[in-house]
Each structure stands twice: as structure tokens, then as C-alpha cells.
Structure 1
Amino acid sequence: MDSNDLPRLVYLVLLLAVVGGYFLMESRRNLGKTIAISGLWGDIRRGALPTEAVVRGDTLEVPVAEDGHFYLTAEVNGTKVLFVVDTGASDIVLTERDAERVGLNPATLNYFGTAMTANGPVETAPVRLGTLSLGGLTDTNVPAVVNGGALDTSLLGMSYLGRHEVTFTRDRLILRR
């Protein structure tokens, strides 16, 4: 820190105070409205971005969610299932709830597999999905596992993602086959 840093900091703080004070004085009659409008920009931005995957030919573009993850809704055995894209997951992983929704009975499955998760090991049951449809593409007899542990959202792992050319950008995931 040289001897000019402190005077520069004081100057910038004073400049900010003057500009901010001017703004407040000019908009004091409509200050409530100004604050309300400035709070809407986040909502406007979110509303302008697509929240669902967009299919363009052989390309599927998935926007990033507010939490930084990518979510896809696929049809499994004719039932819509929400998946989070998880490059750390080796397989397609269904929650027990989603497994039941697509016609599998978790109570009759053999949970002899083990998956290592961030929360420790969990039991898994290997299954075959009759169909998995995503973005106009349908795969049949798709291998997957049912998670015997606590899992909120089903995972779309590398066994499925590896069937595509996968590109991540700042705000979207692009799958191309």
C-alpha cells in the first residue's frame, strides 16, 4: 500500500456519497417506486431466460437454474421425471419415489449394489427402463439404478450423458447427438 492509496479511497468514498446523495435527492418523491422497480430487475431477467430445455434439430439446450444446476424433464416409461444433470454420477439414478411412478416396485427390487455419494455409501438396485425419451430422442432398454437412500431428485449421470456430445457454457448445457 503506497502513500496515495488512502487519499484515493477517501476520494472514492466522498464521490460515492455525493453521487448517491444526488440520486436520493432527485428521486425522493418517487423513492419507494424506484426501490420497487430496481427489485424487479432480477424477476425480469429470470423471466427473460428460458427455464425449460429447448430442442433445435439434434441439439438440446438446457438453461442453468438459479441454484447453478441443470435440470431436465425426461419421459421414463411414458411418465415425466425431473432429473438433475450430474456429471459425478456414473449412472442414471432414480429416487424410489420416481421408480414407483414409472412402474417399478422399490419393495421388490434387489438392492445389492453400492454407490459412493457425498453423504457416504448407499444401496442401489439395478433396473432397466423400458423407454427414456428426451428432446425427441427415445432410447429403449436403458440401464439405471434405484437409489435406496435419501435422494430428492433423480440423477442423469454419465451413462446417459456419454451418448451425447456435451458442452457446458456459462449459462447453458448443450447436448447433441
Structure 2
Amino acid sequence: MARPRKHDQSKILDAVERVVARDGVLTVDAVAKEAGVSKATVLYEHASKRDLIAALVNRTIQADNAFNKACAAPFEGKPDAPLKGRIEAARRSPPVPDGNPAVLSLVSALMQDAELRAEFHRNQKTLSRHILAEASNPRAARLAWLALEGLKYQQHLELHDWNEAERAEILSDIETLADFGKDGIGNGNG
């Protein structure tokens, strides 16, 4: 007996993002309609709305990791390459214009679901270890990384809206903080 073919997961997950952004809520019916597939197809691929969100969280984490890795490639073999790559990624990724309700919904889902939060936590822990292991000064790198993540969350959660010049200046300051660590923070000089 032939095994049913898997449907394009990107198409279904793209539909999840659009539905959440447009409607503010997620229903399997809306996802199926948006993706142009049957409700049975969505449920065959993902047994529940929670599974759809989990798949979207996983895809988001993988895409973010891949983008940051690509941005770090030019710094390969240099001090602080992973952190410098993340700073470069932030430069290349302007804030989400007019907000992104899908991001806010994902954050809400993460806060309400321990398993989803655990996946995000594992990724952040791995990232932190990698950044600190490659850092010329782990204390300065940790502060720079925290500043960078704070900037990103402020933007994505629409808590603050910096203009392009301010954002560029902040990213430059974060990079300076990372560079300062070579001679400053935690080296007996700061």
C-alpha cells in the first residue's frame, strides 16, 4: 500500500502565520482554507493547533539559527565570531514594519506552554554556550549579547520604536561593548 505523500509544510506553516497575523486567533479551518488544503490534510500533518504552533516555533528557531550562522560566516576564525554574526544579522534585519501579530502570538504561546518554552530555552542555552565559548572576553560578550537580545525583543514586542539612525547607533554601541571586552570588562581594567 502506498504511503500518503507529505504536503508542503512551508505552505501550511506560512498559512498559520498569515491566519494569526490577520485574525489574531488560530483555527485549523482557517489554516486549511489559507493553505488551500483540506482540514483533514492539516490534521494529518499536525494533530492539533498546538502541534501547528510547535512546528512554527521550530521552523522559526531553525530559520533564525541559519540566518545568524550565515551572517557569522565572514567572521569565521576571528574572535567573537558568533556574537559579531548576530550583531550583523540584527543590522540586516530591520524591525518588523507595523508590528507582527504572529510574533506576539508566538511569544504568548511560548509563555503558556512549557514544552514550547523548553524548546526555545534549549536553543538559547546552546546559543549562549557557543557565544561564550568563542568570546575573547566572556563577560563582555554576555553583556553585549544581552543588550542585543534586549534590543530585538523591545522591537518585536513593539515596546520601543527606534528610528534607523538610533538603531544603527545602538548596534554600533553593542559591537563596541563586545570589542571593549578584549581590554576592559573582567580583565582587571573595568
TM-score (norm 2): 0.25
Q: Radius of gyration: which is bigger? A: 1
Of Structure 1 and Structure 2, the greater strand share is in 1
Q: Which has more helix, going by share of residues?
A: 2
Task: Name which structure has the greater RCO, CA cutoff 8 Å, separation 6+.
Answer: 1
Give the TM-score of the pair, scaled to structure 1. Answer: 0.26
